[in-house]
Amino acid sequence: MRLLRGIPASGGIAIGRGYFLSRALPSSVQSTVTRDKVEEEAAAFLRAVGRSKDQIRAIRDGVKDHASEHYQILSVHLALLEDSMLVDQTVRLVRENQYKADWAFNKVLQNLLETFHRIEDQYLRERGHDLRQIGHRVLENLAGRPVDSIASIREPVILVAHDLSPADTAQILKSPVLGFATDVGSKTSHTAITARSLGIPAVVGLERVTDEYAELDEIILDGEEGILILRPTHEAVREYTEKRKAYLLRIRDLAKFARLPAVTRDGRTLRLHANIEFPEEADAAQRSGAEGVGLYRTEFLFLNRRDLPSEEEQYKTYRRVAEKFARHTVTIRTLDLGGDKFASQIELADEMNPAMGLRAIRFCLKEKEIFKQQIRAILRASAHGMVRMMFPMISGMGELRAALAIVEEVKADLRKRRIAFDKEIPIGIMVEIPSAAMIADLLAKEVDFFSIGTNDLIQYALAIDRVNEHVSYLYEPLHPAILRLVRRTVDGAHDARIPVSMCGEMAGEPFFTYVLLGLGLDELSMNAMSIPRVKRILRKSVAYEAKEFTGGLLLHATAAEIGKILRKKLEDIFPEERF
């Protein structure tokens, strides 16, 4: 038995036979052809490229939603195969040096991969993975070998791979795959997001699982704990079979709460919304009981592609989500690029501290044409549902008024052109900078709602880089300063009679639900899988008792003290819950 630990990317437990999906580049040795065979060699390479394009195009055309991430990335793969850097240089090397095509192509590919490897930008660097996946396909076609396809899998299996390409994940939708285990990846990687949207367990970032795996190995995959067990003992299989039964029972028990309102025992109702990144997540959000979308991260429409999305493409995408939630609000956040999210088609200067640099609303106010185009698309979509518009990273009144002025300018243009939109579309801001929380009473007079983004609020208030492992222990949601900033924001909103939501990770963590109820939040927005459990806790709570308890918490001096008192309280009133 061999136990490996990775990153828990998608919950659940799978037990079954492994299926190794080889995506390593076949090795090549330097070799040449005779002069009279050069054109024949070049033609064979071009046929392999053409076959690869046909295969990718066939997979892409099987994806119904042309606005989906799958479709977009497969289009990027097609475009890369038309790039002269890749194809023309290979043909040139074959003709000028009489290299065999596989050696010439490998040489060009490795040079490009080294270039991508040196790029500091994470998103651009990940395009190297795309290139590697394309290279694998071309070389297999050149050798006349079939490209290992998920579509051919007929029995339930757990996939083991270095990484999965968009072409792979597009085929998983129609295959009996029980789960994924990959060498690379993070919680925000394409593979992890796909696993969550499909509702199957996944562990990523296992580093060497493809080295450790042997053909036909039995596998236990624990997506809750980030554990993968190869060649498990009978005892381990029995143990995880019981764990899996318990997990499925918990999910089944929680599922009934999805259909119930989030109302406390003393009659206070909170609206629970979902955070989404892609339109295809809307169905899962509705099944989990989401009463709308509290955070639609539109920047993902701008990533993993070569060009900027047009106004029409944005409009159709936003409209699709708005129509899906026709009876509920859909909160569309305007672009939050910069920081840790970059679009390859937008050039941003290197910054010493990008988290506090030209990002989010600051970027939009600088790049007004991109901002106006998105606002037009959101306003047009508002004619087809209950759409709200939300600005990220507002630090003060100046930025807010500048953004609102641009919205009014776009509205006037639409009215002039007789294009329909919701004239009363609610406009709100994310409160994620301490300065915004401190003047919440002033900002609340100029907007229709607040949404507290706790990920950044904690980062900025406590001056810690949340991805820096040396200071991550200081990331404390229960720090007295954070609780007081949230309380101040809620009070400012309620004094102005506007609702206040929370859409950061804190909102979806059941351990904090009772405190957030006590702080007076009106709405909570979270990943869809968390909604049933948060709803169950709220339905067992008494709002006025939570308010009184939380008031007492604010008098304590440290996060450790507050956490200890909170845990004791939760164990007393929710003995059946696991925190």
| Residues labelled catalytic | 190, 503
How does 235-249 read in b/e, with b if 16+ C-beta sit within 10 Å? ebeeebeebbeebee
Task: Report d(CA 281, CA 285) in Å as an integer.
Answer: 6
Q: What number of residues does the chain have?
A: 579
Q: What is the DSSP letter of 312?
A: H
Q: Report the side by side order of strands in the sheet with 13-21.
A: 2-5, 227-230, 218-222, 13-21, 157-161, 177-182, 202-204, 7-10
**Strand residue runs (E) in 211-278:** 218-222, 227-230, 271-276
Task: Report d(CA 11, CA 219) in Å as an integer.
Answer: 16
Q: Are strands 329-333 and 386-391 parallel, antiparallel or unpaired?
A: parallel
Contact indicator for 294, 331 with CB cutoff of 8 Å: yes
Task: Report d(CA 208, CA 219) in Å as an integer.
Answer: 15
Task: Report d(CA 309, CA 318) in Å as an integer.
Answer: 12
Question: At CA 131, angle to CA 128 and CA 135, rounded to 5?
Answer: 140
Of the candidates 97, 109, 124, 107, the residue with the CA atom closest to the CA atom of residue 52: 109
- Other C-beta atoms closer than 10 Å to the C-beta of 326 total 10
Distance of CA 125 to the CA centre of its chain: 17
Contact indicator for 274, 288 with CB cutoff of 8 Å: yes
Cα Rg of the chain (Å, integer): 26
Structure tokens at 422: 């919701």
Of the candidates 159, 181, 160, 101, the residue with the CA atom closest to the CA atom of residue 135: 101
How does 182-207 read in b/e, with b if 16+ C-beta sit within 10 Å? bbbbeeebbbbbbbbbbebbbbbbbe
- Other C-beta atoms closer than 10 Å to the C-beta of 304 total 19
